[in-house]
């Protein structure tokens, strides 16, 4: 029996274990940088196994599990994240979150569960492959500065030849693998704009410097960053997501706070977007006689899937179309962001999208939705996908 077949048989035997692990993690989500119990669960899983476990990696609870094969060879990294989101779950499932206001609404419970049991299967077969596999159980993907950058900066991944990761998406049919060569996910910058004016009575606006009107102008003017300052062929998004101006019906507030995000699929647009926003705030200061403080944070970079490694993955997985995979497709880049980008800045690899559309649901709830649901068949598909890729790439 070929090694791949042995691995697949082990993974098939572990399918129910994967589901049970996923449901336990789903019931017990923890926010970014607070994943103490999740990290302990992962550490305990590997406690009696013949591996090297390094915990408290980077700036939080990151864990690297090093599996050594029968002899020297290539070094491949596989990553799964394990933090949850500040969302009150509304999904009608028997394993609903037990932590009020916290939910695994992006599938990181799935990522962790399949990776644990894939790791277990690879450990069982370690005398049949050469090289080293490093499983990266990563904390804090959802909240900047994220966990990936600090793990990369630790130097513990400097010996990797390649790195791969998976994200599940209900938007794709279960059985679909979607690849994006090149720029695959957007870079991200976040900002907070505080506008300080001079408040007063709602009946006497002429005696005030109205920060709310200035903020409203910023909301509309900031949209021209994309429509009038960026190349129409580029993909750039500017979204105002918070406009905080509490007060009474007869009170003009003296201060408002706005927050938002900027996304771009080309790093060359990162600084021009910031410079354009600064010009707008300076104009608002002059026009409305207010003071603007712009706190602008360059966040996750563009996720760049290396074309060669993406092609490797496509060639590998197309051999399994008709078995556990229905199709391998190329999809459009996503405007969402991922700190997997930090690994790919230093290490060749690619980020793989795995379909997880629930059965019978034409329009599934998207990632980050309080009713987010997935098809649990995606656990075994994810494990087989990354397992097949890593065995092939260990051989180079």
Q: State whether the Cα torsion 99-105-106-109 is positive or negative.
A: positive
Residue 108 near residue 373, CB atoms below 8 Å? no
Interval 172-191 mean pLDDT: 98
Is residue 340 predicted with pLDDT exceeding 90?
A: yes
To which residue do tokens 């009713």 refer?
371
Is residue 204 predicted with pLDDT exceeding 90?
A: yes
Burial track 106-130 (b if 16+ CB lie within 10 A, e otherwise):
bbbbbbbbbbbbbbbbbbebbeebe
> How confident is the prediction for the chain on average, in pLDDT?
97
What does 302-352 look like in DSSP terms, one character per residue?
PEEE-HHHHHHHHHHHHTTBTTTBSEEEE-PPBSS--TTHHHHHHS-EEEE
Q: What is the pLDDT of residue 266?
A: 96
Q: What is the pLDDT of residue 396?
A: 82
Q: What is the pLDDT of residues 101-143, one digit of tens each?
A: 999 999 999 999 999 999 999 999 999 999 999 999 999 999 9
Q: What is the pLDDT of residues 219-232, one digit of tens each?
A: 999 999 999 999 99
Instruction: Report CA-CA distances (Å) from 226 to 59, 264, 276.
Output: 34, 10, 10
> Using CB atoms within 10 A of its CB, is residue 204 exposed (0-12), middle (13-18) or buried (19+)?
exposed
- 12 counts as catalytic: no
Strand-pairing partners, residue 62, are 57
- 141 counts as catalytic: yes
Task: Find how far residue 343's CA is from the centre of its chain.
Answer: 12
In angstroms and rounded to an integer, the radius of gyration of the C-alpha atoms of the chain is 24
**Catalytic residue selected from 30, 35, 81, 83:** 83
Is residue 211 predicted with pLDDT exceeding 90?
A: yes
- Determine how β-strand 62-68 pairs with β-strand 52-57: antiparallel
Query: Is the N-terminal amide bond of 145 cis, ω within 30° of 0?
Result: yes
**Catalytic residue selected from 35, 81, 141, 162:** 141
The DSSP H or E segment spanning 168 is strand 162-169
Q: Would you give the end-to-end CA distance of the chain in angstroms?
A: 21
Is residue 368 predicted with pLDDT exceeding 90?
A: yes
Is residue 27 predicted with pLDDT exceeding 90?
A: yes
Interval 170-192 mean pLDDT: 98
Is residue 51 predicted with pLDDT exceeding 90?
A: yes
Number of other CB atoms surrounding residue 221 within 10 Å: 18
Model confidence at 151, pLDDT cuts 50, 70, 90, reads very high
Q: What is the pLDDT of residues 247-298, one digit of tens each?
A: 899 999 999 999 999 999 999 999 999 999 999 999 999 999 999 999 999 9
The helix/strand count (H/E) of the chain reads as 11, 16
Q: What is the pLDDT of residue 390?
A: 98
Task: Find how far residue 176's CA is from the centre of its chain.
Answer: 19
């Amino acid at each position: 029996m070929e090694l791949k077949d042995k691995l697949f048989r082990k993974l098939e035997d572990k399918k129910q274990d994967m589901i049970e692990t996923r449901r336990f993690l789903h019931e017990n989500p923890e926010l970014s940088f607070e994943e103490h119990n999740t990290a302990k669960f992962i550490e305990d899983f590997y406690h009696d196994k013949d591996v090297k476990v390094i915990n408290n990696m980077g700036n939080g609870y990151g864990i690297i599990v090093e599996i050594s094969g029968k002899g020297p060879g290539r070094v491949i990294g596989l990553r799964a994240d394990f933090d949850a989101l500040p969302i009150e779950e509304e999904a009608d499932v028997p394993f609903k979150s037990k932590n009020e206001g916290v939910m695994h609404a992006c599938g990181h419970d799935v990522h962790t569960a399949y990776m644990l049991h894939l790791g277990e299967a690879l450990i069982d077969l370690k005398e049949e492959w050469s090289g080293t596999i490093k499983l990266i159980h990563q904390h804090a993907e959802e909240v900047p500065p994220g966990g990936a950058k600090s793990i990369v900066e630790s130097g513990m991944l400097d010996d990797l030849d390649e790195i791969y990761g998976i994200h599940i998406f209900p938007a794709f049919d279960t059985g679909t693998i979607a690849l994006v060569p090149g720029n695959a996910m957007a870079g991200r910058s976040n900002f907070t704009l505080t506008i300080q004016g001079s408040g007063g009575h709602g009946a006497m606006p002429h005696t005030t410097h109205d920060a709310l009107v200035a903020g409203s102008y910023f909301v509309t003017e900031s949209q021209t960053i994309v429509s009038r300052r960026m190349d129409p062929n580029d993909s750039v998004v500017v979204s105002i997501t918070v406009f905080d101006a509490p007060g009474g019906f007869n009170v003009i507030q003296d201060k408002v706070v706005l927050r938002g995000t900027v996304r771009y699929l080309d790093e060359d647009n990162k600084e021009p977007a910031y410079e354009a926003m600064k010009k707008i705030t300076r104009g608002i200061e002059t026009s409305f006689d207010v003071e603007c403080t712009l706190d602008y944070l360059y966040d996750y970079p563009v996720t760049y899937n290396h074309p060669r490694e993406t092609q490797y993955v496509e060639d590998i997985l197309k051999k399994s179309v008709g078995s556990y995979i229905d199709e391998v497709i190329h999809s459009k880049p996503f405007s969402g962001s991922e700190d997997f980008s930090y690994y790919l800045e230093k290490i060749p690899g690619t980020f793989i999208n795995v379909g997880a559309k629930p059965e019978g649901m034409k329009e599934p709830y998207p990632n980050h939705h309080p009713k987010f649901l997935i098809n649990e068949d995606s656990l075994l598909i994810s494990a087989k996908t990354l397992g097949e890729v890593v065995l092939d790439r260990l051989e180079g």
